Structure 1
Amino acid sequence: MESPSSPAPTSFQLLTVGVPAAVRRALGRAFRAVGEPVPNCIDISGWSEAELDSFVCGPGDALLLWGPSATEAWHIRIRTFRTHHPDLPTLVRIPKGDPVIGEAMLREGFHEIYVTAAQAPEALRRGRARLMGPRGQAQSGSGPARGEDPYRFDGLFQNLYDWIYVVGISEQGEMTFETVNPPLHASGSFLNPDFAGRSPESCLTSSSAAQLIAHFQRVLQGGTPLQFEEEHPIAREVRTFQTILTPVRNKWGRIHRIAGISRDITALKVAQAELRASEERLNHALDGTQQGLWDLDLETGNIYRSPRWFGMLGYEPGAIASTLQAGFDLIHPEDRLQTEAALNAHLEGRLPGLQAEYRLRTQSGDWLWVFDAGKVVAWRGDGRPARMAGMCTDITERRRAEESLRALVGGVVHEIRNPVYGISINLDALEATFGEEPRYRPFLLALRESSDRIQGLMNDLRDYGEPRTLNPEPCRVRTLLEDALRSCETLQVSRDCKVRLALEDEALVLPLNARRMHQVFRNLIENALHHSPPNGTVSVRGRHLRDEGHDWWAFSVEDEGSGFDPESLARAFEPFFTRRKGGTGLGLSIVKRVVEEHGGTVAVENAAGGGARVTLRVPAPRRRMELIGEPRG
């Protein structure tokens, strides 16, 4: 923290609140670039009240607040500080494209706002000018007194964004500007203060004067306020203004003045035109795809759905109510619970985005498969989600292809399983009869190995082709892991290995599909046992972590083998790729698919001390889950 008594090597001191050091240096460069004295930037963010009270401002000093990052406590202290230093110009840096904050700061009494460091010197110049009276004398903060300069109210509305003016109407109908107050940062010469005492014809272009006089006449004839938009040529360009004219009557009821408020809305019009063009381009692009756009206002519950969204389902635009509930009512009953869970997980911050596959009922009564992807795009002031947007993609053809493939796989598995079962029975009989004879034993072992391999392949094909519907339920993770370990006991004994299980939370309950996750852990433990050396140890760990603003439960399975070679590491999740003799190459592919259906991720790596490690992460519920009927720990 700089001391309040630090020497000022430059001509004035810039007191800063919440301004990073790098920005303070950028401010110095900005003043130097325009030939202004370089300020001595003093960070007063950490000053005590005593230090603030003892500070004496110089004639050229200024105060700079780092926009919305300042705390409410600092706003209060700054107000108190400014009451003791009424002649101190105050600036506020606001984020780009956030005029709401700028308006709030100006209403609060700050003299100027700016966005970039390069704009700071000009903003300070305007702030200093605003503190000077019309004679170039500093304004006093002690309040008005009898006999003050009659021009003390000039510039009272300099913080507004509008031209505010009054036109006097004589009894003969002559029109004369009485006062004109331009807005902050007024550019060009639409209406200037020196118009006072002059007629519109004498100070405006002929086209602008004709337009305004015609509107003044309409107000005089109708006797009611008038709002309109019009264009005026300003500084060799045409700008659009929105104007409100209000008649003012004297005590005899005659309209003797017209008060006007005009705002330059050229930038708004340009933005609206660009938005319309962007929407047209987006609609043209979506027309050639099977994608529908949606935009959900979480505060009102209203949702916008693009025409393409309705077209995918065979409805006319607007045929479905613009509510989230109306959309959920179209989802297949088997898919609704899983879809709602995915949405809630994202809104609660447990998942970085919404991704769900589900069926929607079309107007004809058929079912359309869609892939829905979206995310929160705006938040409220308290940090809660305010708006969400996404797109629905028609994946019906892909799902039909998958169903056909599953049917084919199921048929192949069924047709092969019966003969393999017969082969296995006959092998049992041969082993019982000739298993001890040396000349037959090698052949029987080879046949048994081939039979087991075919059976394993059939089981993996059946699992890999299983439908994607998840339907998770609360599941105790410890029990799930212990069941998976029991399934691997025979392999564990044959490999003469140990399995060590360590959970950070022994009573952990997560929303999972127990059968599918049992298969995941069983596959990972079996792989680790197959690659472990004799007397090796397989470690299964579970721990809570927070990454990129989201809470996860991470489970790792690590062996003490030789680890992944480079090709296996790169192709670990590729179906049917395996280096292990007798393996099908589907184990890790099944693991990846099931974990991703739970909203999680899977990663493979080589451990630092040797061996392979597979780590899966699943979203952690925001609130701790417990099984119904179990006592609390």
Structure 2
Amino acid sequence: MILVFSAVLLALYLSSNRALIETLRFGRENERLLEQVKEAKERLDLALQAANILIWDWDARRTNVFLGGSWAIILRVGKETSALSPDELAQMVHPDDLPKVKQALSQCLDGGHSEYVAEHRVKTLAGGWVWSLSRGRVVERDAGGRALRMTGVNVDIDDRKRAEAELLAAVQREKELSEMKSKFVSTASHEFRTPLATMLSSAELLEHYAESLSPAEKVNLLQTIQGSAKRMSEMIDDVLTLGRAESGVLKLNLGPTNLRELCGRVVSEFRIAQGKQHIITLDDRFDRVEAHMDERLLRHILNNLLSNAVKYSPPGSEVTFSLARSGERAAIEIQDRGIGIPLEDQPRMFESFHRASNVENRSGTGLGLAIVKKAVELHGGEISLTSAVGSGTRFTVMIPLRPIDQPAGVS
């Protein structure tokens, strides 16, 4: 009997040991499995973060939408969260994008589309907006076809959207530049043709009728040829100067400049030539003997601005040239009472080939102000304009008396 009882006890002991061993073995396997699952989740989270992807899971039987994949880090929406209500998510979508997002969601939930796809902006904690691509599918429906569960991902596409916008802007700018260049070629052809025709006709008159022409008539024809040649030379110089400026070849030749004397000479020249039908007033309040500038480029700036003031103003109107000092800068203002510049044209008036839309048949190539701006900036200065259609335009030039990037005494 004792032997039987002992055998039974031994059998029970061995059986319990085997169960304990199996339990321990199963526990260790569970630990390994849990560790593998943890590692897999970490790898997935890292992959989602690296790819700027977040995951979401909506269940009609729950109140909130589950969020994963570091939503806050990817879309920079602030505090990390694992769930948001549909209304909270809707508030994060840009108002302009919300209708199309709701429409895409409805079409997918109703079964009209197999997949939900929408590009929209998401509000950040700072109040800005980032672009996101949202994709999802209905993964569970009830017997009646009603959507019960939907899962999907969001991808941060803000960089792509910015690149697309920059590319579109560049394409548009290239298109505009091409149109302006075509317009310039057409305008330049006309501008060259007119003085050429004048020169040819004057030369033919001198060739065939020199004996019958009076000395005064001959002088007048010669002056006409000289004026036309000068006009063509100025246009060619404008093109070459702009080319040198844009390629960085145009350099300053600084030296002592008597600014009051230079401005006085330029105004006097205009009073007896281009501006003889206008009243040109010089308001000189400059109180320095000299400045340190490139006199040739400065003359170009003044000639161009005065020429425009005269060209776009009616005969008999006043053009005011003001010279003063503002700190260590020369302040030059040229005010006309002409046609003015439309508001939509003003931001682009210093661009190459651009001309205001109201110039009508007045001659010009659209290069003058672009060259002026380059010359002013080479001096370390600034140029601005204020204008109103029908009231006139004022250009203001501010140039350092001694450019700040040039050591004292350098010429």
TM-score by length of 1: 0.27
TM-score by length of 2: 0.41
**Greater helix share, structure number:** 2
The structure having more radius of gyration, on CA atoms, is: 2
